Amino acid sequence: MQLDAVESSKCSKSSKRSPQAAVLFDMDGVLVLSNPAHLEAWQLFAREKLGVEITAEMFFRSISGRKNEEALAELFPGRFSKEELARVGAEKEAFYRERFAPHLPPVPGVLELIHELSSPPLSELVALALVTSGPPENARFIIGRFQLEEAFAAVVTGADVARAKPDPTIYLMAAERLGVPPARCIVLEDACAGVQAAKRAGMRCLAVATSEPPAKLTAAGADLVRPDFRGVSWALLQSLL
């Protein structure tokens, strides 16, 4: 089924149609170039607050793309209670938002793509969601910083699910909230775990190589890999459906 721009232009806000497709945006590495900042934040926080060193290898193996509680439990088995895992994870994210988040640049081309998709006539037929394993406070901060409050019809965060990616639940939840079948959803990702989550959810996936090499993203199942979002438009995304 093609989304016909001419037909969609007949839609008015007074008779808004149900979305025919959805684009689900990951946040870190997709909306903002934040993984280097997250790495540095983890290293400084762990050194100052926990008295340990976290290497880049530890970060990409055990932390990136996961819920903080899961990462901390794996890195420091038995050190923290369940309540302490939640508290320490929240403290790290507050540390990140204060020191790093205000300076994060958007991934090249992503704001232009969001503008295209969230403007008429496409806004009548394509629903957008922000889907991140991070906490809701991070999502609110980034959405507010780039003034995207009206762009996303749904926001799903790590607080909404018990398991982080590559478990598909977070993407299936976003599709359900938007009222769009998984087969009509396109996921925009930067991490192998996120690509795997999208494919397990029965969705198509475009990956940007902002965090991991193109070959790894392709091996994880990405339908298309680009360096960033420059040149990515609805016409390209629609071709994946």
Catalytic residues: 26, 28
| First-to-final CA distance of the chain | 8
Residue pointed to by tokens 């990409």: 60
What's the rounded Cα separation, in Å, for the pair 121 and 11? Answer: 8
Cα-based torsion angle of the residue sequence 139, 143, 146, 152 in order, rounded to the nearest 10 degrees: 130
What's the rounded Cα separation, in Å, for the pair 162 and 168? Answer: 11
Continuous H helices in the chain: 5-8, 35-45, 56-58, 68-75, 82-99, 110-117, 136-145, 169-178, 192-200, 214-220, 234-238
Which amino acid, residue 67? K
